[in-house]
């Protein structure tokens, strides 16, 4: 694997409590990842440029990661202990670096295991419209500062004392940011709210390519060049979580590669980015079986696993379902009308609505109850009728909202389940641009979810979701009046 971190405790499903490596992270660094080596594998972990003891500058995944991965693979091929059959794995940021190595196209690469990650880092945190997954990008950049390598720091062209001071400031900024989140008002920290600029404090000073990262996110040709999905030419086992911030990227990569190759597999579990380390979450432990088949030639049937396996969101201990395609066959778009909200939204950019649930990295994630937000002047609900029977949603929900009055700027639309007990459960959220009156079309990330009888699918609309999403565009302000909406859900046949 290639990683911006040091040797991980594990990149797959956590260790059982009685496993030696489960004791401490220091223990893992002392003995290596024995769960791999005990099975007869040679484990190679390369730290990317500019991180820890590696020379060079950490590029924020804008450098020649494919070329560095190619060099690593060639080195492994030459080692006397190598049989020339290589598997690549990784999760989160390590998965990004590892998938970029897999894009080198070396014939010795036989399979990839990619967990809670994306082959396109920029595409996962910066959206084409200039919208940024701020709760993920800013904490990631600031938190990495402490472990940037000596060579990275030396190449910044700053006095050592200033670099040390900036690293301390990064730590203090993180404490302030998440202190504000814990207090229930992220806007109390100016780090969450200040303008996102090429000279953003600390980030631009400690990362020479910060401005390039922001620019690449808004440049279609740069985005296309950094997305290595179509350069991967081996079977990949994609593992994702319904509420991981990389979930949409994982589905996109799986879909493209499966259409091109037909040998991809997708497993989706219920939880958030860090829940994936919980051993109790896993109904199966697939990584070694995957590699045993493709690297060792074991006839364990891994190549014949169902193409898609998933649990329903909200049912982490539920059965593992399967389908040869995503979305599963037999679903049909079911339209329902939602009534207009009882009042208009009154949006004040100086007091943005906080993030409450969703698919995030560092802040409140998952299917949180939206009821507390409904008391705000900048949040409204569009309600529909209750379901007469339980129903299963499998796929991508869509909505069309009638906008009667609005300015220009981003607004947050949330797919919710108003349950019989009164909970307004968040299922999915999307950020879309308003540009005055008209029809607003929304498409949500894929989901598998079971509605109970008596539940009422609907929408919640909010003026913001801070710190989850930010934009370099002017913030939406003033009055937004909505009419009704049409909600289209991909429902499975009963």
Q: How far is 21 from 129, CA to CA, in rounded Å?
A: 43
Rounded Cα–Cα distance for residues 26 and 355 (Å):
35
**Cβ–Cβ < 8 Å for 196, 134:** yes
Rounded distance, CA 457 to CA 484, Å? 14
Model confidence at 127: pLDDT above 90 = no
Q: Please check the confidence at residue 210 and state whether its pLDDT lies above 90.
A: yes
Q: What is the pLDDT of residues 147-190, one digit of tens each?
A: 999 999 999 999 999 999 999 999 999 999 999 999 999 999 99
In this model, does residue 242 exceed pLDDT 60?
A: yes
Closest CA to 189 of 201, 176, 202, 200: 176
d(CA 137, CA 480): 29
Q: Stretch 192-199: mean pLDDT, rounded?
A: 95
C-alpha 246/C-alpha 235 separation (Å) is 20
d(CA 203, CA 445) in angstroms, rounded, equals 30
Q: What pLDDT does 282 receive? A: 83
Question: Residues 16-72: pLDDT tens digits?
Answer: 455 544 444 444 444 556 778 888 999 898 999 999 999 999 999 999 999 999 999
- Cα–Cα distance between 419 and 453 in angstroms, integer? 9
Q: CA-CA distance, 151 to 154, in Å (whole number)?
A: 5
Q: Looking at residue 37, what is its pLDDT?
A: 84
Burial class (CB in 10 A: 0-12, 13-18, 19+), 422: exposed
Q: How does the average pLDDT of the chain come out, rounded?
A: 92
Q: What gap in Å lies between CA 341 and CA 438, rounded to an integer?
A: 16
- As beta bridge partners, residue 237 has 113, 265
What value does the mean pLDDT take over residues 84-89? 96
Token match 């400690």: residue?
206
With a cut of 60, say whether residue 10 has pLDDT above it.
no
Q: Which residue has the tokens 């020649």?
A: 64
| pLDDT band for position 141 (cuts 50, 70, 90) | very high
pLDDT category at 336 given cuts 50, 70, 90 is: very high
CB distance 349 to 476 below 8 Å: yes
Mean pLDDT of 386-400: 97
């Amino acid at each position: 694997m290639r990683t911006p971190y040091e040797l991980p405790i594990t990149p797959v499903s956590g260790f059982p409590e009685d496993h030696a490596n489960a004791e401490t992270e220091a223990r893992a660094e002392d003995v290596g990842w024995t769960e791999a080596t005990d099975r007869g594998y040679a484990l190679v972990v390369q730290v990317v440029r500019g991180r820890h003891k590696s020379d060079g500058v950490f590029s924020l995944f804008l450098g020649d990661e494919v070329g560095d991965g190619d060099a690593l693979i060639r080195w492994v091929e030459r080692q006397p202990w190598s049989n020339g059959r290589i598997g690549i794995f990784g999760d989160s940021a390590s998965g990004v670096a590892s998938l970029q190595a897999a894009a080198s196209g070396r014939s010795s690469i036989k399979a990839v295991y990619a967990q809670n990650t994306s082959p396109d880092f920029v595409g996962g945190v910066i959206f084409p419209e200039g919208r940024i997954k701020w709760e993920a990008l800013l904490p990631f950049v600031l938190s990495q500062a402490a472990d940037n390598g000596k060579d990275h720091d030396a190449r910044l062209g700053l006095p050592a004392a200033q670099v040390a001071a900036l690293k301390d400031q990064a730590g203090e900024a993180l404490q302030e940011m998440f202190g504000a989140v814990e207090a229930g008002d992220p806007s109390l920290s100016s780090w969450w709210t200040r303008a996102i600029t090429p000279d953003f404090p600390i980030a631009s000073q400690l990362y020479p390519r910060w401005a390039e990262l922001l620019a690449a996110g808004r440049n279609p040709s740069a985005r296309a060049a950094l997305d290595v999905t179509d350069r991967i030419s081996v079977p990949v086992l994609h593992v994702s979580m319904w509420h991981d911030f990389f979930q949409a990227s994982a589905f996109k990569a799986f879909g493209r590669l499966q259409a091109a190759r037909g040998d991809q597999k997708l497993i989706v579990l219920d939880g958030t980015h860090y829940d994936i380390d919980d051993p109790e979450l896993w109904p199966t432990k697939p990584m070694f079986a995957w590699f045993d088949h493709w690297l060792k030639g074991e006839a364990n049937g891994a190549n014949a696993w169902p193409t898609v396996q998933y649990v329903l969101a909200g049912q982490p201990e539920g059965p593992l379902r399967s389908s040869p395609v995503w979305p599963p066959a037999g679903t049909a778009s079911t339209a329902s009308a939602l009534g207009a909200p009882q009042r208009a939204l009154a949006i004040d950019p100086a007091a943005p609505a906080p993030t409450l649930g969703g698919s995030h990295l560092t802040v409140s994630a998952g299917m949180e109850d939206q009821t507390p937000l409904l008391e705000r002047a900048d949040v409204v609900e569009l309600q529909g009728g209750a379901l007469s029977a339980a129903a299963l949603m499998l796929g991508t929900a869509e909505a069309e909202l009638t906008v009667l009055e609005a300015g220009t700027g981003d607004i947050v639309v949330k797919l919710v389940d108003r349950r019989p007990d009164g909970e307004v459960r968040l299922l999915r959220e999307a950020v879309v641009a308003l540009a005055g009156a008209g029809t607003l079309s929304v498409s949500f990330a894929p989901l598998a979810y079971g509605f109970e009888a008596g539940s009422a699918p609907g929408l919640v609309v909010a003026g913001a979701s801070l710190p989850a999403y930010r934009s370099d565009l002017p913030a939406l302000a003033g009055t937004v009046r909505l009419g009704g909406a049409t909600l289209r859900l991909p429902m499975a046949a009963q």
